[in-house]
Structure 1
Amino acid sequence: MLHIEARVMRAAARRHCQHICELIDYGVEKPDYIFIVIPLLGKDLYKLRNEQINRRFSMCTAIQVGLQTLKAIEELHLSHFISRDIKPGNFMVGLHENQQHKTIFLIDFGLAKKYIDKNGKLIPSRGEIGWRGTTRYGSLNAHLRLDLSRRDDLESWFYLLVEITRGSLPWRHISERAGVQAAKLMARNTGQKQFFHQCPKQYKILMQMIDVLVFEDSPKYHEFINVLMDIKKEWNLQLNSRFDWDEEEMTTSTRSITKSISSSDAECEKAMKEECINSVETK
């Protein structure tokens, strides 16, 4: 897996990517000892979100994170790789001492796959190949165990965006993959109101844009950016402002850690979970 990690970071370096973790060194000491060296980074988005009140970011930070993580995915795709494991834990923030505290980096390419062949052609879908990714953020195609593409990275990114905005995903307490799959399908029909609870109305547009993409499509990343910028304009957000976790300006209250979510969030989550369980049991 370290071999593929090194390949991805080298390809990204050739394109001077700003949001892909830098590869400092890579080598083999013995037949069974492989190493890579990367810069020291800060916390990942999963930890940072859990440290916020109600486990969610402010709208300003959520949209800034959405833009930077989307850019990281675009850079990865332009380097001819897909991640197949987009999730908050695979995005880390740079350090103040490196003047990178305003930059989010994509890391961990152990499941990455090249989707362009040596002739610059798209590698065709292999059909059903087995599960890839993380259940909570996996795309509907991942649940069908289909070969994944650029659109699936975007679907996982979208679940990340919803989670950091509203504080949780409705299926976070569902352990069975079939139940999670049912919840994701429900988010597109009868459970849409619960799914988009406390989210900007434009999030529905993002989901629709992703759902119409097929394996061969090259996503129009600028159109996704435009939707996020519409939110910025409507909410009058200052996207050059600090992140919620910026320790230099954070108050004691914003640093407090809580595992509670608002009662309305909890009610929506409970209702959707129960409906998903019933859906799975009736199949």
Structure 2
Amino acid sequence: MLETCQQFQSGDITKDRYTIVEQIGGGLYSAIFKGICKNQTASQHVAIKFQNITLDCPQLTNEILILQALADCKHFAQIYGQGIHKKYKFVAMELLGPSLHDLVNRKIPNKFCLHSILKFGVQAIDALQALHKIGFIHRDLKPSNFVIGSTVETSSKIYLIGFGISQQLNIKDGNIIKPSTKDSYQVAFRYASINAHLGKEFGRNDDLMSLIYILVELYTGSLPWANVNNPDEVLRLKEQYQDGSLLAFMPPEFKQFEDHILSLDYTTEPDYQLITSILFETY
């Protein structure tokens, strides 16, 4: 977001507490800076996300709501503060490390070993179960939305980020009800489920199917539709590979993982313990 980059410079102080160091990321609606939070006894590095207050988009509000609800879960960033500075809403949160996308692309052959994939998968399932438990679907799972911690102690811990288009499950009187309207999914289709291509409402099963695509890509180095830009052709390939052939180079236990996901619909709760046990059996 160019305007935000121009508004904030290194050394700027937000709310007399957060000193901006440098920009480390951003998107269409927001910009993220590395900063230093100072209090009476110590200082620590933080991530500060800014969003123009005049924009009619729920991304930052969504993120704050979710992170506050998951404050006690180890796979989500901690929030340190929030407010308004100049024309911008901001949230200061735990500074995290590089994403899986960054890590896998650091050296050839751009893929992870089986042990790393399984370790990631178990933590990803744990994170998704926590998110789903509070009634939200992520809807935008991809390697760049899984990151590791920024310290030695947290460098092996997986964090889930990127809640800009997350949505609440359709719950009525305590029951999950299949929505009657189509989903207006508008982001990249590389890791999206077949349901997303068809305009069906995202459910917990769709987050898990996205996770399978991510696991396959990180372990084998690619997906059959990786270089295809036409969404209809991507859909055709996903349907073609849904017969189990997508998992041809994965451990055989992954077929049970996929079969379980395909047995679910919007209203059915996934068996997270089953999926985790499948991954553990693969070790």
1:20 maps to which residue? 76
2:241 maps to which residue? 187
Q: What secondary structure does 2:261 align onto?
A: helix
Which of 154, 160, 178 is the aligned partner of 2:208? 154
| Counterpart AA for 1:162 | V
1:75 maps to which residue? 130
CA positional deviation for 1:130: 2.1
| Counterpart AA for 2:224 | P
Alignment map for 1:213-252 (pairs within 5 Å): 213-232=264-283
- For the structure 1 residues 118 and 17, does the alpha-carbon distance in structure 2 shift closer, same or farther, using more than 3 Å as the test? farther
Which of 206, 217, 229 is the aligned partner of 1:163? 217
Q: CA RMSD in A?
A: 1.7
Alignment map for 1:30-179 (pairs within 5 Å): 32-97=87-152, 99-115=153-169, 117=171, 120-179=174-233
Distance 1:150 1:27 in 2: 32
Which aligned runs of 4 or more in structure 1 are off by greater than 6 angstroms?
none
As a proportion of its length, which structure holds more helix? Answer: 1
- For the structure 1 residues 3 and 213, does the alpha-carbon distance in structure 2 shift closer, same or farther, using more than 3 Å as the test? same
CA positional deviation for 1:133: 4.2
Q: Does 1:11 align with 2:65?
A: no
CA positional deviation for 1:54: 1.5
| Counterpart AA for 1:96 | T
Identical counterparts, % of pairs: 31
* Aligned residue-pair number: 225
CA positional deviation for 1:188: 1.6
Kept after mapping to 2: 8 A contact 1:87/1:160: yes
Q: What's the TM-score once normalised by structure 2's chain length? A: 0.75
Structure 1: 5+ residue stretches without partners: 233-283
Asked which structure has the greater RCO (Cα within 8 Å, sep 6+), the reply is: 1
Distance 2:113 2:63 in 1: 32
Q: What's the TM-score once normalised by structure 1's chain length? A: 0.75
Structure 2: 5+ residue stretches without partners: 1-58
Distance 1:115 1:21 in 2: 22
